[in-house]
Structure formats: C-alpha cells, structure tokens
A and B are shown apart, each in its own frame.
Chain A
C-alpha cells in the first residue's frame, strides 16, 4: 500500500478504535491513540514530501473505482502535488499539536474518548478534501468535515443552544454545498470528467471569459462561501464557538474554513478563465473582511472576537484570490493557520485558567498569572496585526500589495480593515492580560498556568507565528520567495490561458511604500488601542448599557434576525400552511370529493355491493371480462380478415 493511502488511513483507524471503544478504552490510552494517529499522518506527509520533491511531478494513487455510470468514471483516488502537500503539512502538523493540546484541555471531560475519535474523523475528512484527485473526492471530504464540525460544535449535546449552533453550521454549509454540487454537475456536463488533471487540460483550450466557466466558478464559489464563512453565508462561524476550544482552533480557524481557498487555488485555471467571478470573489472578500472586523471591535467574548477575526482574515484570503494573487491568498492560509490556531489555543488556556469564563470584561491582569499563555498570545496578536517581521505581516502585506495594483478603493478598504484588526486584537489583549483582575475570588484562587501538554503546542505555534512568514519574503529583501517558487507548477494552466498571469512585478518603490503604510497603520491602531484599553483603562460596559450604533454592531447588525425573518420563518409558516390547508382541504379534499362523487353515482349499483371493496372487485371482474370479450372479438375480426385476405 502506498504511503499516500496511509496518510488518511491512520486517523480513520484512530477514529474507529476510539469511537467503537468509547467508554471501554481508558482515557490514558485514548489520548495517545488520537495523537498517535495524527502524528503518523504527519510522518506520512514528510515521506510523501520527499517522494514529491524527487520528481516534482504529482503523484497519483487510485485506491478504488468508486462510481461508474456510463462513461462517467469517478475514482476514489489521491493526487499529491505541491498544493496538497502544503495543506497536508498544515493539517497534520497543526492538527497534531491541537490533538496534543486536547489531551490536556479535554482530559476531565466525560466524552474525552469520543472527542478524540471525532477529531481523528475530522482529520480523515480534511485529508480526503485536500488529497482527492477529483472534485468528488474533494466533495466527500467537504461534507465530511461539515459533519465533524456539526458533531464537534454540538459536542456538549445536553445544551440545546450548542445543538442549535451545530445545526446552523451544518445547514448553512449545505446551502453552499448545493452550489458546489451544481458546479460539479456543470463540470461533468462540459468536461465529461471530474478529475482535476483532465478538466484542467481541457480547460486550456478555452478562452478567457467563457460563460460556462463563469457559471462553474460562480457555483463553486458558493460552496466556498459556505465552508469559508463569507458573506452572506458567514453567520454560522461565530456561533460555532459553542464547540470546545481545540475544535475552534483546528476546524474553525486553521483548516476546515480554509477549504474554500484551497478549492479556488486548486481550480486556478478555471478562475483565471473567469475574471468576472474573480471580481466577485474579491469584492465578497473585501466586504467580509471589513464587516466582520467592525463586529469584532465590539465583541466581549474572547472566542467571539477571534471568530470574527477569522471571518475577516478569510475575507483577506479571498481578496488575494480575487485579484489573481493565488499564492498570496494561500500564503495567508498558512500563516493564519499558525497564528490563529495559536490564538485560539491560548484563549482556551485562558478559559481553562478562568474556570470556564469567556467574557473579557471579567478578566484582566492575567499577564503575570499565566505567563506562557500571555506571551504566546501576544505573539499571535502581533502576528495577526501585521507587524514586521512576524508571519502575518508578510502574507497580509503581499495580499494588500496585489490589491493595490488591482483596485485602489479596494486597497483603502482593506487597509482600514487591517487597522481595525490590529485595534480589536490589541483591545482583546489589553483587556485580558493587563490591568487588574475583574473576576470572582474563586476564579482568582483557581488561576493557574495550563499543563505542559497545552503549553508546548502554544510555544511551537508561537515560534511558527514568528518565523512562518519567511517562506514568502517580498522581492525587495532579495531573498527567494520559497512558497511562490514551490507552488509554481500548479499555475501552469493559468499561465497557458492567460500569458499575463503573474507577470506584474510590483515596483520596489511602491512595495516599500505599501509596506511602510501598512506597518504604520498597524502601529497607529495598536497605539489607539493602547490609549483606550492599555491597563484595562476602559472596560466595556455591560450588555444592557450598550446603545446606539454600537448596539447594532454588537448585535452583529441583526443579520441573524434578518435571516430568520426572511428565510426561516416564512418556510415555517409555509410548512404550517401546507399542513393545515393544502393537505386536508386541497389534495385530500379533491380525493374525498371524487370519492363522494363516485359514491353518489354508484347508487344504482349499490345493491350489488357488500361495501367499497366489493365494488372494486366487481369493477375488476367486469374489466377483465371486458378485455377478454374485446380480445375475442378482435381475434375473430383478425381471423375474418385473414380469411378474406386483407392485410
């Protein structure tokens, strides 16, 4: 068996062991099984990487033929190339750290073994998503991660509110999935195959602006909107914070939510053929980045702030893709995986220390109490704010530079969004870690740094958040852009259909200027945050005292309420209308009417009947007799015809 097949197989086995053995396998064993499965996948990834770099050619593995209908052949097969291998590193690498962290975080939970099983199942699905060599295998993973997300958001299933959040996530994702599915149908209709290699090869023969491709990419993008929480399908992600914090880190920050970006980068030739769709992607990205950032400014739940920042950062990634800077968008996927996983895990460590408290108005002054958590959180905060030389700076700056080349207005909006990011992240940091403690005495008494299984992943991720950006330094530093060079082969198709692709070097002076502006903007935002919240100077007011515009934003612009009023309630009302009117009075009314009519007409034959069944038996007998007679007559006729000689 190929090592590539083993990569997703390990977590599957881990899932089966911990899932079937739940409550029989002791916690001391369940943890290592879960982490081990993830670690083995990581090792498998390293080996697959060496195989890939030997030849630089994609490696294909056909596991089995899955669906065959006529000429449509859908294989359960894998493709390892430069793009999937990076995703594999992120998924199994960050995944392993988060599994490890979970050993500490979830240890005392009664569902510990089940949790480990679900995490492994998620890993399996996520690996299928990025390893598949065709759109259908991607779709298997796509829906699979959706299921795991559902299971893990609603992990504490006694709580109905969590259950509702889980369902919301699944259903909103399904809306996106329908778009994805229609995109796949269109691909099959036009290319007769779902294999990436074959589709992209055929696509090379098309011209830019092809309307079919615009439709395909548009529908695929709807899928991406759902999975990657973009306007208008983003509202599930903040609610998804109901899940245990490692889940938020792994699924709702580092990996699953970036699937949409992966999909677009994977299909880059199709998107390059459809500039209209790209434009839509870019504007949706900008809108999401800015709107989510504004909401993030007023949130007081530590996880909610991070959730909105995730939505916002995903917007930046789409912005990058939308201006054809696929590598830049993908670069941000990588660095974001590091610093956002770090921030969530550190937040988890804070929550752990605070005995479950998530409201930053009840925190403060934790810097000295939980030092490792605080320092690592600070690293993450600086990284996401885009301060040189941490990871977020390089990836975000690269996106902004490309956006600047593409559209100045978009750039201004993106810059404002990025200032807001720095502002709300430092607001979060100051309110949590500086000033004096605002929680209860009990909480203060219980304050403790988390165990090593939790702090080690924090430290590793902090280091990665620090140095992760060096894989893609701007040209002005005269160092190679390792990531761009590595990913080069996957853009072969885009270059074939658009000779201009990637041929816009930014002038050095512009690049310096842009870097200066974004760094300056970030520093200004941080300074403003400091003047407002440094030392927890202004603690946000209680919910009841929030008024005006702030209240509207605090309540997320009432988008949930609007969706509820526009979509959910009408469907419910329709459902009730169907049940109370259409069913009894409409369809059944007609049926009963016909019944009555028959009844009144059958008055004449009533004496012949011994109840309704009798009538129908009678009818049957009559009709059989009838057809026999007709048949006989027909045959007699035929015989006569033959006799007379008519043909």
Chain B
C-alpha cells in the first residue's frame, strides 16, 4: 500500500496543478511544495520503519493476458532511492521559490510527474513496468529542459531525448527477449530464469542493458549529450537530471544488468569497468580547465557516475554498497552545487570563473554551505562523499588492483578542479561583478541548510544507510556469484 501511495501522491499533485491552470504563481509553488513535503514525510516514514526482512509489495494485473503486472515492491535498495527522491524533490521545488517561471502550473506539474515516474522506477517489480516508468521519467524532464531552458535548449535537449531513447531501444529488445525466453515479466522470477540463458545471449543482454544505462548515467563514450544538456537546462531540470535521473542508470545496473546477465558480466564486466574508469579520468581532466561553473559541475558529475558504474560492475559488496551510498551523496551534492551556481548567476549574471572572485567577503553563510558541499564532493572523511568513494574504490581495487589505482586518481583530480572552482569564485579580490553580492537568505538557506546537514550526517553515520541496503545487495550478489 505504501508503495502505491508513494506513486499516487506526486501524481495527484501533478494532476491537481494541471487542473489549477490560471491560478497565480504562489498557489502553484505551494501546492507543489506541499505535495512533495507530504511525499517526503511518507518516504521518511518508510525509511525509519523499514525492516530489511520484509519486502513490501503490491500487485495488480495490468496486461493480464501477457502476465504483465502493475507490481511494486520495496526492498532496501528501493528504499534508499525512494528516500533520496523524497528528500531532493522538495528542495528542488523550494530552490525555485525566488524565481517565477512562465506557465508555472505546468512547470511544477512536470516536476511532480517526474517524481512519480522516479518512484515507479525505483519500486517496479515487473520489468515492463520498470521500462514504462524509466521512459516516462524522461518526458517531463525533457519538456522542462526544452521549454524553460536557454535559447539552445530545444536543439540540445532534443539530442538528449533521442540519445536516451535510442539507448532504451536496446533495453527494450533485451527485455522482450528475456520475457519471451522466461515467459514472465516478474523481475524476481527473471533472476532465476536468467541462469538458463546461454552465455552468448547473456553477452548480448549485457551490452544491451549496459548501453541503455550507460547513456542515462552517462558513462564514456555515451556522455556527449550531458554537458550541453546540464548547462543549457533550467536549474531545476539540471537538478532532476543529475540528482535523480542519472541514478536510474546506476539503479538499472544493480537491479537489472547484474542479476540478469551474470555471465555477460564476468565476460565483459572488466571492459565496461575500464570504460567507466577512463570516463572518470577523462571527465575529471576536462573539469580542471572548465571556466563555466555549470559545465564544470556537469563534467564532475560525469566523472562521479563513471566511478559508480565501475563500482557496480566490480560485482563486489563494497562496490555496490559504495555505489548506493554515492548515489545518494552525489545526488544531494549535485543539487546543492547546481543551486549555488544558480545563486551566483542570479546575482552576477555570469557563470564564468574568470569574472567571479572574492564572493566570500560578502557571504559568510554561503561560504560555509559551499565549503561543506564542496568537501562532500571531494570526499573528505566525515562528509557523505567519503564513505561512498572509499567503498567504490575498494570494490574496484578488489576486482582489479591496477584499475583501482587509476580510479583512485579521482581523489587528486577532484581536489584540483573543486578547489580551483572555490578559489576562482569565492576567494581572491572582489571585482565590480561581485562587489554587491548579497548573502543567501530565506528559501535559499532552507535549501542549503538541509543539504549541508545531510552531507555531514551521512558522513558521520553511514551505517544507517549501509545497513538498510546490505541484505538486498547480498541477495543480488548470491545471484551473481552463486
């Protein structure tokens, strides 16, 4: 029942906003925020009361003849993603409160629709339902980016749309194949059936799923839609994409690829890992010289996703646990960082590091939030980035020490580009652009404070999260390494 409520609430909110067309901006904002807060409370309730032994499920017949069901379930992995989505969406909505968007009802409605689909993805127990939500999630974000984005947005986001749809076709083919072979769409049943699929087919399945999820995250060489899309989209859409939608890819690797193509993984997992790690280094090296902060963070996100992919593909407990934790950490930090870029742009009309500088002299509060979130991104111990990155690197290292060593370069490169960003924007002398920069207040603090708090709390008490997901990850691992 809980699972259904989690999907229905944002859906109802979304429909309500469509119905409220013509009302004023404030009403839309408040309806959206309220909906997302109710959702947050329910997600938090689920998180707190969760008992890893029980898996909450609901099941309704969807396409009865095809034995395709509207089948939702919550295990530890789902729950973590639900908690992340529940936490981030209200913050994303709140981050828009200072601004007014044209066609605001549609704007907020689409955000909630995206949340509906995300919740669906993270809870789907039927592979077609998973696919359905996976595709649906993209549509509202596509419209958000295309309609409310910059002048280049329609062209760039269309590319993103086509690209990810292209990836999804691979997945669809793979899903249909599995469905026909196993004559079930139940993911759990597919896990058992997957054992009987020939190695040759598994190899194909592996690549079909990998390409689909690799485009979504993105992982090298499927990333070229990402920097443009992130920097041209309006900030809330960028936040949704980097904070949440990209996580569908990692989630897909864990939930779908690993257990459904274990032989493919053992054959090609290392190659895919190498690609991911190359992407990690490649993205980091590019980020070092970026002057547009939004692009810088986009490349840094790309780098982080590469490490997550590599960790998952290592097929180790630490790798997957690390990826799960890092999904949450990166989601939160990316939203925080993109919001800070928005704050800077709002006040200075530029995202160019060459034009900024000395902001810290005007903004004691912003400096602290920025510093904390930045430290989370560079994985300083006792921030949320550390435990995830530590476990990811350990996972990769355990699988292949050399690759682990190369992936480890991220802790150096990450510090290089993040500290450069900090130095060029916040430190140094003020200039005419930043002289009048005002400190954050009101709703801005309401967004940054919870983020900064979670950065620290997750870093200090990671076991709260790790304990929730470990049983579920272990049962997946038993399928991969029987």
Contacts and interface: CB of A to CB of B under 8 A. Distances in A.
Contact of B463 (A68, A188, A572, A574): A68
Interface stretch (A96-104, A167-175, A358-366, A489-497): A167-175
Interface in A152-203: 154, 157-160, 163-164, 167, 170-171, 174-175, 177-178, 181-182, 185, 188-189
Contacts of A182: 397, 404-405, 408
B180 A178 contact: no
Interface stretch (A87-95, A575-583, A602-610): A575-583
A394 B344 CA distance: 57
Nearest to A22: B364
Main secondary structure of the interface of B (DSSP, over half): helix
A22 B172 CA distance: 57
Interface in A55-93: 64-70, 72
A583 B302 CA distance: 13
Given A140-B382, A167-B420, A578-B286, A178 B462 contact: no
For A22, A64, A178, A576, the residue with the greatest tally of chain B CB atoms inside 10 Å of its CB is A178
Interface stretch (A29-37, A519-527, A530-538, A612-620): A612-620
B38 interface: no
A189 B416 CA distance: 29
Nearest to B381: A140
For B318, B381, B429, the residue with the greatest tally of chain A CB atoms inside 10 Å of its CB is B381
A230 B173 CA distance: 57
Contact of A572 (B225, B288, B364, B411): B288
Nearest to B413: A571
A185 B289 contact: no
For B176, B358, B375, B409, the residue with the greatest tally of chain A CB atoms inside 10 Å of its CB is B176
A26 interface: no
Interface in B141-182: 158, 161-163, 165-166, 169, 172-173, 176, 179-180
A481 interface: no
B398 A189 contact: yes
Given A182-B397, A185-B397, A588-B224, A575 B408 contact: no
Contact of B289 (A163, A572, A616): A572
A381 to B, nearest CB: 36
A558 interface: no
Nearest to A572: B289
Contact of B404 (A64, A160, A185): A185
Interface residues of A, number: 64
A636 interface: no
Contacts of B317: 69-70
A477 interface: no
Nearest to A635: B183
B415 interface: yes
B365 to A, nearest CB: 11
A67 B420 contact: no
Contacts of B405: 178, 182
Contact of B415 (A160, A170, A634): A170
B255 interface: no
Contacts of A595: 162
Interface stretch (A301-309, A339-347, A622-630): A622-630
A47 interface: no
A256 to B, nearest CB: 15
For A147, A575, A582, A612, the residue with the greatest tally of chain B CB atoms inside 10 Å of its CB is A575
A144 interface: yes
A612 B158 contact: yes
A68 B282 contact: no
Nearest to B285: A575
B427 A579 contact: no
B467 interface: yes
Contact of B409 (A72, A147, A178): A178
Given A181-B393, A627-B180, A144 B381 contact: yes
Contacts of A612: 158, 162
Nearest to B289: A575
A486 interface: no
Contacts of A64: 461
B286 A139 contact: no
Given A171-B415, A623-B172, A68 B467 contact: yes
B179 A631 contact: yes
Contact of A188 (B289, B360, B394): B394
A70 to B, nearest CB: 5
B419 A181 contact: no
A178 B406 CA distance: 10
B387 interface: yes
A139 B466 contact: no
Contacts of A579: 286, 289-290
A76 to B, nearest CB: 8
A583 B223 CA distance: 9
A157 B428 CA distance: 6
A591 B286 CA distance: 19
Contacts of B288: 571-572, 575
Contacts of B375: 147
A158 B429 contact: yes
A163 B158 CA distance: 41
Interface residues of B, number: 67
A140 B380 CA distance: 8
Nearest to A71: B317
Nearest to A575: B289
A143 interface: yes
B200 interface: no
Interface string A8-21: 00000000000000
A566 to B, nearest CB: 15
Contacts of A576: 289
A23 interface: yes
B321 interface: yes
B466 A68 contact: yes
A582 to B, nearest CB: 8
Contact of B381 (A69, A143, A158, A163): A143
A160 B180 CA distance: 64
Interface string A119-160: 000000000000000001001100110010010001001111
Contacts of B285: 571, 574-575, 578
A613 B139 CA distance: 11
A565 interface: no
Nearest to B165: A616
A72 B463 contact: no
Contacts of A634: 180, 183
B423 A163 contact: yes
Contacts of A572: 288-289
B391 interface: yes
Nearest to A576: B289
Interface in A385-421: none
Contacts of B220: 587
A448 B162 CA distance: 74
A590 interface: yes
Interface in B84-130: none
Contacts of A623: 169, 172-173, 176
A64 B169 CA distance: 48
Given A66-B462, A575-B285, A579-B289, A627 B176 contact: yes
B199 interface: no
B412 A175 contact: yes
Contacts of B420: 167
Contact of A139 (B166, B289, B381, B419): B381
Given A163-B427, A578-B286, A588-B224, 18 more contacts: A65-B463, A66-B463, A69-B466, A70-B317, A143-B380, A157-B360, A157-B428, A158-B427, A160-B423, A163-B428, A171-B412, A175-B412, A185-B397, A613-B162, A616-B169, A623-B172, A627-B176, A630-B176
22 contacts: A69-B318, A69-B391, A69-B470, A70-B317, A70-B474, A72-B318, A144-B380, A144-B382, A157-B426, A158-B427, A158-B429, A159-B428, A163-B428, A171-B415, A181-B411, A182-B405, A185-B401, A185-B404, A587-B221, A587-B224, A627-B176, A628-B66
Lowest 5 CB-CB distances: which A-B pairs, in order? A627-B176, A575-B289, A140-B381, A588-B224, A157-B427
